[in-house]
Chain A
Amino acid sequence: GAGVSQTPSNKVTEKGKYVELRCDPISGHTALYWYRQSLGQGPEFLIYFQGTGAADDSGLPNDRFFAVRPEGSVSTLKIQRTERGDSAVYLCASSRAVGVNTGELFFGEGSRLTVL
């Protein structure tokens, strides 16, 4: 596609439920990132993939969060036993590769998660 696509755009769930958020990066981009943005804050790094493997998952807040990218393209962020504090906009981004000259991250529109 022309840009990074994220679904759903909005998700309302109840505390304790399981949620999956999907990201379809720009075709050909090998690097994929997940960030979380709370209201009035800057994006907070969660995890990034280089190809199929999670190269750095140090930003995942706890073991309720997990992400996969099985074929090196589409990625899914999975959140178990959701808590109200998980409410935020989850942003996915992709880039051509990782390295000093690869520059920009292309962000999707985000998935707004609300946990009631």
Chain B
Amino acid sequence: GQQVMQIPQYQHVQEGEDFTTYCNSSTTLSNIQWYKQRPGGHPVFLIQLVKSGEVKKQKRLTFQFGEAKKNSSLHITATQTTDVGTYFCAGGTNFGNEKLTFGTGTRLTIIP
């Protein structure tokens, strides 16, 4: 079945440093979504990417969908303590958001 892997599993950064997490799917995706989960919380939607090579920005966050639609990345510039949490990518294969396969997640901690 479809697998979605993320690296790194953990990332500790000094506040103000940049952070990147990478997501790789075993199959071609129709779309990819990114979610953030704070400790003890539930996943919260960040963004959806649909087009090959698509790049979207949200303030300090930059999301990219690979040309082959099998990988994606999330880059955070100048991390802040509010960025703490686990970041999950979630891939869909049926041109919709049904049956998303979530990645293994990257847990980000910030050293003040």
- A: residues with CB less than 8 A from B are 31, 33, 35, 41-45, 48, 50, 55-56, 58-59, 91, 95, 98-110
Within 8 A of A (CB), among B72-112: 88, 90, 95-105
User: B interface, by DSSP: helix, strand, loop or mixed?
Assistant: loop
| CB neighbours of A59 from chain B (8 A) | 99
| CB neighbours of A42 from chain B (8 A) | 4, 88, 90, 102-105
On whether the beta carbons of B101 and A45 are closer than 8 Å, the reply is yes
A104 CA to B45 CA, complexed, in Å: 6
On whether the beta carbons of B98 and A104 are closer than 8 Å, the reply is no
Identify 14 residue pairs between A and B in the complex whose beta-carbon atoms are under 8 Å apart, listed by A's number.
A31-B98, A42-B102, A43-B102, A45-B99, A91-B43, A95-B97, A98-B96, A99-B97, A100-B95, A102-B96, A103-B45, A103-B97, A104-B97, A105-B33
On whether the beta carbons of B99 and A48 are closer than 8 Å, the reply is yes
A34 CA to B105 CA, complexed, in Å: 19
Closest A residue to B43 by beta carbon equals A107
Within 8 A of A (CB), among B19-74: 30-31, 33, 41-45, 48, 50
Q: How many A-B residue pairs have CB under 8 A?
A: 68
Q: B48 is contacted by which of A45, A50, A58, A104 (Cβ under 8 Å)? A: A104
| CB neighbours of A44 from chain B (8 A) | 102
A56 CA to B98 CA, complexed, in Å: 8
A23 CA to B50 CA, complexed, in Å: 29
| CB neighbours of B96 from chain A (8 A) | 98-100, 102
Q: Within the complex, what minimum Cβ distance (angstroms) separates B21 from chain A?
A: 12
| CB neighbours of A33 from chain B (8 A) | 98
A98 CA to B30 CA, complexed, in Å: 13
Closest B residue to A104 by beta carbon equals B45
Q: A105 is contacted by which of B4, B95, B97 (Cβ under 8 Å)? A: B97
| CB neighbours of A43 from chain B (8 A) | 43, 88, 90, 102
A105 CA to B88 CA, complexed, in Å: 13
A108 CA to B42 CA, complexed, in Å: 7
Closest A residue to B92 by beta carbon equals A100
| CB neighbours of A45 from chain B (8 A) | 99-102
A33 CA to B20 CA, complexed, in Å: 29
